[in-house]
Structure 1
Amino acid sequence: MTKPRKPRGPYRKSAERREQILQAAYEAIDEHGERASLQDIADRVGVTQPALTYYFPTRDDLLLAVLERRDAMGKATAAAVSTEHTMIDGMVASARHTTDHPGLAKLYVTLSAAATDPASPAYDHFRNRYRTLADEVTRDFATQQRLGEMRDDAPAEHLARALLAVLDGLQIQWMHDPTVDIATIAETFTRLLTGPGATTSGARAEPPTG
């Protein structure tokens, strides 16, 4: 089987420079949030501000690329834990990844709020992000329902959307009050889905009596 060729010459250098800029932006925003300046990012890489626009034509392009990297790293963190442990462990790890990177969390909340306006440059990014995440979690939950590992008295899609809403809501509460332990609360919520209240083999939970 022929191995894919790696970019060579100027194409490889261009890809490397783009990666350097993206990583510098990720680190600057992690430290300073959306207040991180393009000049700071350019200085970290050793290029001029105009040079940044060759790789990221607008500030919004760069910020969205940083959010995509944040999502990818958060998923990788959760997946690594879930492989060895459980979905709950993965969700807790993802929540802790959020609190470990407050500047990136603030950028996410700020842009996601602005993206509710269809005219926002981030509108398509967040709409597609939520659709993709909801589909992925729904498929995972549906599988767990079939295996009897998750409550099945509600559609998997509804449970998936509820989980995403809880995680986003906890993130906002934590930004207002850093004492909110979003990882522990996320664990509490996921246990409501997979703990003693879970039903199996299509059985429906009966309401409590007395």
Structure 2
Amino acid sequence: MVEPATTTGKVTRPRAGTQARREEIVRAASRTFAAKGYRTGSLVDVAEQVGITHAGVLHHFGSKEQLLVAVLQQRDDDGVRDLEGQHIPGGRELFRHLVRTVRANEGRPGIIQGYTVLVGESVTQGHPARDWVTRRFAVLREEIADAVQAMGPHVTRDAAVRAAAAVIGVMDGLQVQWLLDADAVDLPEATTFAIEAILAATLAGADAPRPVGDVV
């Protein structure tokens, strides 16, 4: 799971006291999902940590899915908090940042599990997280495509966006394999290999080897 710079539009800010309580709930949910996983970790577990009821959590977030979205958004925000401009970097450094994020993700399997479940379920019509996931991927594709073109100004926008979609797909797919069998997948190494292969082919353009050839 990688963090885009922002995936939200203009929102109405809650009152200071409400905002503080929401942040407290999100932090508690993050701890709960990290320790127990998204499916096993319950809203009761979260509520007990902040001294409110299960209904109190729902009052602030509406559903467990929406609480997970808030946890994931907070994780994204935390991931760029110490970066210049609180924004993921551009060019080559963006891809190094992606690999560093993957290394950090190894220490939070419960959160990655929750993200994977949320993304999978979001493809269904009417899912409460569908818009958030769609925006998140759209922002990531643009930011990664920008980084590709910063490394290779000769790369067309279509090719850069295609490479960006491939990078995101590979990263999320590797996370699924890792969640199912962590011993079988070295997540940082496999991710680095895939990103470098995609970048090498994209930057080489027409000169890139094509082992598969044309597919009819």
Where in structure 1 do 4 or more consecutive aligned residues deviate above 3 Å?
73-83, 85-88, 193-199
Tell me, yes or no, if the aligned pair for 2:65 and 2:128 is still in contact at 8 Å: yes
Structure ID, larger Rg: 1
State the partner residue of 1:11.
15
State the partner residue of 1:3.
none
Matched AA of 1:48: T
Identify which of structures 1 and 2 has the higher relative contact order when contacts are C-alpha pairs closer than 8 Å and 6+ apart: 2
Tell me, yes or no, if the aligned pair for 2:94 and 2:144 is still in contact at 8 Å: no
Kindly state the Cα deviation for residue 68 of structure 1 after the two structures are TM-superposed. 1.5
Q: 1:196 to 1:109 in 2, by over 3 A?
A: closer
Kindly state the Cα deviation for residue 107 of structure 1 after the two structures are TM-superposed. 0.7
Q: Paired residue for 2:127, among 120, 130, 143? A: 120
State the partner residue of 1:165.
169
- TM-score, normalised by the number of residues in structure 1: 0.78
State the partner residue of 1:103.
110
Q: Counterparts of 2:57 and 2:201 in 1: how far apart (Å)?
A: 53
* Identity value in percent: 26
Deviations 1:20-43 (A, max 9, x none): 111111111111111211111111
Kindly state the Cα deviation for residue 97 of structure 1 after the two structures are TM-superposed. 2.0
- TM-score, normalised by the number of residues in structure 2: 0.76
Q: Counterparts of 1:123 and 1:143 in 2: how far apart (Å)?
A: 30
Tell me, yes or no, if the aligned pair for 2:29 and 2:71 is still in contact at 8 Å: yes
State the partner residue of 1:205.
207
Matched AA of 2:116: V
Matched AA of 1:38: L
Kindly state the Cα deviation for residue 174 of structure 1 after the two structures are TM-superposed. 0.2
Tell me, yes or no, if the aligned pair for 1:56 and 1:62 is still in contact at 8 Å: yes
Q: Counterparts of 1:197 and 1:51 in 2: how far apart (Å)?
A: 50
Kindly state the Cα deviation for residue 76 of structure 1 after the two structures are TM-superposed. 5.0
State the partner residue of 1:183.
188
Deviations 1:97-121 (A, max 9, x none): 2221100111111111111111222
Unmatched segments (≥5 aa) in structure 1: 1-9
Q: 1:15 to 1:103 in 2, by over 3 A?
A: same
SS of the equivalent of 2:20 reads helix
Matched AA of 1:30: A
Tell me, yes or no, if the aligned pair for 1:112 and 1:126 is still in contact at 8 Å: yes
Matched AA of 2:169: A
Matched AA of 2:93: T
Tell me, yes or no, if the aligned pair for 1:18 and 1:55 is still in contact at 8 Å: yes
Q: 1:52 to 1:196 in 2, by over 3 A?
A: closer
Q: Counterparts of 1:20 and 1:86 in 2: how far apart (Å)?
A: 32
Q: 1:206 to 1:125 in 2, by over 3 A?
A: closer
Kindly state the Cα deviation for residue 205 of structure 1 after the two structures are TM-superposed. 2.0
Q: How many residue pairs get matched? A: 192
Superposition CA RMSD, Å: 3.0
Q: Paired residue for 1:143, among 150, 165, 168? A: 150
Q: Counterparts of 2:68 and 2:181 in 1: how far apart (Å)?
A: 25
